[in-house]
Chain A
Amino acid sequence: MNQHKTRANRLAVVLAGLIAVTVLPVAMADDADAPPVKLDPSIPGNTWASIAKLPDWSGIWELDWMHNRSLMHATPPDLTPEWQAKYNTYLADQKKGEDLQGSSANCFPVGMPQIMTQPYPIEFLFTPGKVTMIIEAYHEWRQVFTDGRKHSSDPDPLFQGESIGHWEGKGPGATLVVDTISFAPTNQIGPGIGHGDQLHIVERIRRLDAKYMEITTTITDPKVLQKPWTQVRTYRKDPGDLHEYECEQNNRDSADAEGRPGERVN
């Protein structure tokens, strides 16, 4: 009996081993999009020594909306007829008191690209192979892989999308180019404007001088836009640190199903 048990155990171990041998390579193949274990030191930002040569983006950066307002309106999106009709309906609904509130009024994550245009600052962190953006609004964050990897073959839809970046140029004005795909279906490229599955966002981020940063955002979406929608915005360096902004703390003006302001406003 004991011998049988031992034999059975041995068999189980051998079987488990066989399964591991057959299954593991498949699992690793699934993981092929993960970064290389050892970062290529020739790619800017992959080593601490090369991070020291990147431009100084320390501090916190806030959309300079006081001076930028007209700029934001100077480049309206060129919508496809289908989306222009939807947008017209959205504007008409607003006149009826509906759709006054977006889903962020209920603390639903904003995601890309609108998370980059909130009136609160952003902090950029450089670590080997990655730029992380900590966004004060809604405590959202983005990670931009700069380690040389390509986009995943089948990325999941995410609020922030999948961002792959690389550095162009050298010195204080070097540009971080961020290429982002694969967005959550609920994301909007502007108030009342959704997106298709081919939404593609390219950001070019550079420091202009001691006080200002510039982000040029080009949004391409063949199902929603007739031509790419490019926006240029400046961000100013703010004193101090990031603050807390937890939306669920005391949200008295949440929206109902039709986007009407909530009951607790008064």
Chain B
Amino acid sequence: MNKIIVTTAILALGAAGTAWAHHSTAMFDMKTDVTLDGTIKDFQWTNPHTWIVFDVPNASGGLDEYGIEGMSPNYLSRNGWSKHSLNPGDKVQLVIHPLKDGRKGGFNVSVKLADGKVIYNLPRAPGQTPENTR
């Protein structure tokens, strides 16, 4: 299985409400992590959100296309990301908070790059400082 669903007690950042610049996170299941293995089709380094278009092999031998929303370039560039962090063709593993409505998409939590390095879209847990998250 290339899809592992783990329910975690990760603090729902959406509860902070005002911490979200653009919109509520109510459309995402912020308590659930889904791990996806696949290939980057497109990485949109744009405001108000970055987007990863992600091809994930499905059971019938085809590809499912996921739209993964991430924090914006102004935020991510302060946290070690750049427009070159992901490139079309990169084989990576994503952890996302999935859309509640069942569509193939979600909010980016982290990306494990081909070399094993993990880059985080969001701070991970309460008590963790911005410094050690970055």
Task: State the A residues within 8 Å of B (CB).
Answer: 63, 65-67, 69, 72-73, 94, 97, 100-102, 104-105, 107, 114, 117-120, 136-138, 190-191, 238, 240, 243-247, 249-253, 255, 261, 264-266
Q: How far is the CA of A245 from the CA of B22 in the complex (A)?
A: 11
Interface status of B19 (Cβ within 8 A of chain A): yes
Are B66 and A247 in touch, CB under 8 angstroms?
no
Are A65 and B16 in touch, CB under 8 angstroms?
yes
Q: How far is the CA of A31 from the CA of B27 in the complex (A)?
A: 48
**Residue of B26, B44, B101 most packed against chain A (CB within 10 A):** B26
Residues of B contacting A63 with CB < 8 Å? 18-19
CB distance from B34 to the nearest CB of A (A): 14
Beyond A247-B47, A247-B48, is A191–B78 a contact (Cβ under 8 Å)? no
Mark B53-78 against chain A: 1 for CB-CB distance below 8 A, else 0: 00000000000011101001111011
Q: How far is the CA of A240 from the CA of B16 in the complex (A)?
A: 25
Residues of A contacting B72 with CB < 8 Å? 245
Q: How far is the CA of A250 from the CA of B65 in the complex (A)?
A: 19
Are A137 and B27 in touch, CB under 8 angstroms?
no
Question: Which secondary structure characterizes the binding site on chain B?
Answer: loop
Are B67 and A265 in touch, CB under 8 angstroms?
yes
Beyond A66-B129, A72-B17, A244-B74, is A255–B22 a contact (Cβ under 8 Å)? no
- The contact of B23 among A105, A240, A249, by CB within 8 Å, is A105
- The contact of B22 among A65, A72, A104, A243, by CB within 8 Å, is A104
Give the size range of B's interface with the partner.
Answer: 35 or more
Are B26 and A94 in touch, CB under 8 angstroms?
yes
**Residue of B23, B51, B105, B133 most packed against chain A (CB within 10 A):** B23
Beyond A136-B74, A247-B47, A252-B49, is A266–B103 a contact (Cβ under 8 Å)? yes
Residues of A contacting B26 with CB < 8 Å? 94, 100
Interface residues of B in 7-26 (CB under 8 A from A): 15-24, 26
Interface status of B85 (Cβ within 8 A of chain A): no
Interface status of B46 (Cβ within 8 A of chain A): yes
Residue of B nearest to A139 (CB): B47
Are B16 and A251 in touch, CB under 8 angstroms?
no
CB distance from B99 to the nearest CB of A (A): 7
Are B104 and A266 in touch, CB under 8 angstroms?
yes
Are A246 and B23 in touch, CB under 8 angstroms?
no
CB distance from A114 to the nearest CB of B (A): 6
Q: How far is the CA of A240 from the CA of B99 in the complex (A)?
A: 34
Are A265 and B46 in touch, CB under 8 angstroms?
no
Pull 25 A–B residue pairs with CB atoms less than 8 Å apart, ordered by A. A66-B128, A69-B19, A100-B23, A101-B23, A101-B24, A104-B23, A107-B48, A190-B17, A240-B78, A243-B73, A244-B73, A244-B74, A245-B47, A245-B74, A247-B47, A247-B48, A249-B48, A250-B44, A250-B47, A250-B51, A252-B51, A253-B49, A261-B27, A264-B67, A265-B69
